[in-house]
Amino acid sequence: MHKSSSYLDIAIRYGFLALMAGLLIFFSVTAEGFLSPFSAVFILQSVAITGILALGVTATLVVDGFDLSIGAVATSALMLSAYVMVVWEMSAFWAVAISLAMGAAVGAVNGFLIVKFKVPDLLATLGMMFLLLGAQRIPTEGRSVSTGMALPDGTIATGTFSDAFLMLGRYRISDLVPLSVVFLIAIAVLVWGFLELTRHGRLMYAIGSNDKAASLAGANVNRYKIIAYMISGTLASFGGVLLAARLGRGDVASGNNLLLDAVAAALIGFAVLGASKPNAFGTAIGALFVGILLQGLTMLNAPYYTQDFIKGAVLVVALVFTFALSGRTGRGAA
């Protein structure tokens, strides 16, 4: 059996990486300046926030869950951190801390709804998504948060985005590498290490593969599921903070694409190295893949409105890789 299927195995294992290498070569030949350090940094910066969200959703996918609320958590964190600084006039530290706490709390509520109240994961997090999309607009009556805005009680907000906060989104190490890229890489390494190298990650994979078996082996299934949603919520809120720092205002309209881009990156990650399961390395590669593709196309002057179409096509191809070709084992088959 090993002889006959070896080509297929290689194709499944390295197919996606080969595709990515091919893409890099293609763009470096056709698009001028694609191989420059500046372009590489730009790609990384463009995927930093979706990548961080995607790593969070990966944690929920590992326990066979799903978190549709990440986009809404991120935009809520964006609004909340702006509100903390501009209206409450608190420091950057509190803006970040309160936003992360909000994300963790939303994750805990998601996990609680799913584990204790037995609400199916898609529905619980979908409900949470709508709830947050609405909630984040209430304090400002639907307007964006910025210095000098009029509050509902008639006063004018005088707080400002502190420089320390803006640095999170705008500072570049040696004038080249943005801080957000460093965060992405650090978080990717942390999540990868947690999932692959610690016993907690191992148990989370066991729960995702067969939660009954994990439970009968003595694992506290409910606790790990809640932790997974808390990781997802916290990382999503951190993504929102970075977005706020980049924009410099609490913009109600930004972050619309975060959910779909992050989910796409995590699902593309299933196909990387033939894993057929959620994994942090694959998710990072998935996010990078989307970034390279979009940057290359932009440099080739492809119109912006084709981007979603191309992302969708890539996702479908990746899912075929995962479920049809390597679906012989793993949860593709189940």
- Which helix or strand (DSSP H or E) is residue 173 part of? strand 172-173
- Least Å distance, CB 223 to other proteins, is 10
The site string for other proteins over 274-303 (x = CB under 8 A, - otherwise) reads: ---x--------------------------
- Least Å distance, CB 329 to other proteins, is 6
Q: What are phi and psi of 156, to 5 degrees?
A: -105, 135
Q: Residue from 33, 37, 218, 303 that binds other proteins (CB under 8 A)?
A: 218
How many Cβ atoms are within 10 Å of 123's Cβ, its own excluded?
12
Q: Residue from 216, 300, 313, 320 that binds other proteins (CB under 8 A)?
A: 216
Q: Residue from 138, 156, 253, 334 that binds other proteins (CB under 8 A)?
A: 334
- Least Å distance, CB 220 to other proteins, is 6
- Least Å distance, CB 194 to other proteins, is 9
The site string for other proteins over 167-206 (x = CB under 8 A, - otherwise) reads: ------------------------------xxxx-xx-xx
- What length is written for the chain? 334
Q: What are phi and psi of 171, to 5 degrees?
A: -70, 140
For tokens 């509520």, the residue is 109
142-171: b (≥16 Cβ within 10 Å) or e: eebbbbebeeeeeeebebebeeebbebbeb
- Least Å distance, CB 247 to other proteins, is 37
Closest CA to 78 of 327, 249, 213: 249
Q: Interface residues with other proteins (CB under 8 A)?
A: 197-200, 202-203, 205-206, 208-210, 212-220, 277, 329-331, 334
